[in-house]
Amino acid sequence: MSFKAVYLQKDESGSFSAALDTLDDSALDGNSLAEGDVLLRVMHSTLNYKDGLAIGNLSPVVRKWPMVAGIDGAGEVLESSDPRWIAGDLAFINGWGLGEAHWGCLAEKARLPGSWLQSVPSTMSTADCMSIGTAGYTAMLCCMALQRNGVRPEDGEILVTGATGGVGTFAISLLSSWGYTVVGSTGKPEEGEFLRALGASSLIARETLSGSGKPLQKERWAGVVDSVGSHSLANACAQTRYGGSVAACGLAQGMDFPATMAPFILRGVSLVGVDSVMCPMERRAEAWSRLAEELDRKKLAQITKTIELDDVIETAGRFGAGKLTGRVVVNI
């Protein structure tokens, strides 16, 4: 038996290749990069920013070689020695080092630890789970962080950077549905109608945040969801109102943080780091429970488009060019 997978290889000389290969089932057995007690028939996966970086060899995402790409997956359990799972169960997975240090789910099959899996909610399909994927789940974690820090709709505007990206589109949709006034920062003004349909009340140009700025700037934001990092995050913090909170989860502009302590010690601003990869299962479960109940499915359809496994490598190349908006589900 065999299965198709997006297979990434790099030799000792640094020569890289990404291809849709056919692998023998035996490749999953005794493979330290595919350890696990559950064999999943992957029905749907998704393309995330991190997948685009890995498949395009644009950043050192992959830590072990060779690697099967794909940080998200959902499908049917084929075999399990974990008592929590039996054949026929529908399960999904986000993060846990998939596509980085453990073979991922841009493949027809994946062997995974049962402790990393979650049950597909009864109100969702495997395709729905992947429409949300790591991007939507991370956005929910960010929005929950703002709420935990006491940011209320009546406190003022919420800034969402990287507004047309996966995290950004979900954050706008969620926060607006909860009654917050959301301002999106984007470098794609042509997507303004799309972002307003999701719930953005107004937009600002990405360039207003992406350059160097003063340590303290005019107070505007009650809260921020940032997936960009670098100068954009520094300026967002400098513009956050007294006692406000900033949830940071990404580094699309860069990993650096060229800021000062001024917003934190003079305005009491909180900067909350949000990690979705190794997030404890209890918090994951809370986030997914809320997504199942609170996410507007009509808006989910607006955010999502579907491709086939054969299209993954070509589509992933568009991440580096900044030409993708919203979410991409991979039908496997």
Per-domain boundaries in the chain = 2-120+303-331, 134-273
Task: Please give the backbone phi and psi of residue 116, each rounded to the nearest 5 degrees, phi first.
Answer: -90, -10
Position 323 scores a pLDDT of: 66
What pLDDT sits at residue 64?
A: 96
Determine the pLDDT at residue 161.
98
Query: What is the pLDDT, as a whole number, of residue 160?
Result: 98
Residue-level pLDDT at 322: 62
pTM: 0.94
The CATH architecture annotation of domain 134-273 reads: 3-Layer(aba) Sandwich (3.40)
Tell me the CATH class for 2-120+303-331. alpha beta
- What pLDDT is attached to residue 151? 98
Cis check for the bond before 121: say yes or no (omega within 30 of 0): no
Q: Residues near 319 by Cβ (< 8 Å), separated by ≥ 6? A: 47, 49, 51, 52, 53, 56
Angle, CA 141 vertex, CA 51 and CA 33 arms, to 5°: 35
Q: Which amino acid is at 159?
A: L
Low-confidence ranges of the chain (pLDDT < 70): 319-324
Strand pairing partners for 247?
Answer: 225, 272
Q: Report which of 311, 231, 272, 284 is spatially closest to residue 94, judged by C-alpha positions.
A: 284
Cα-based distances in Å from 133 to 138, 144, 212: 8, 17, 33
Strand-pairing partners, residue 146, are none
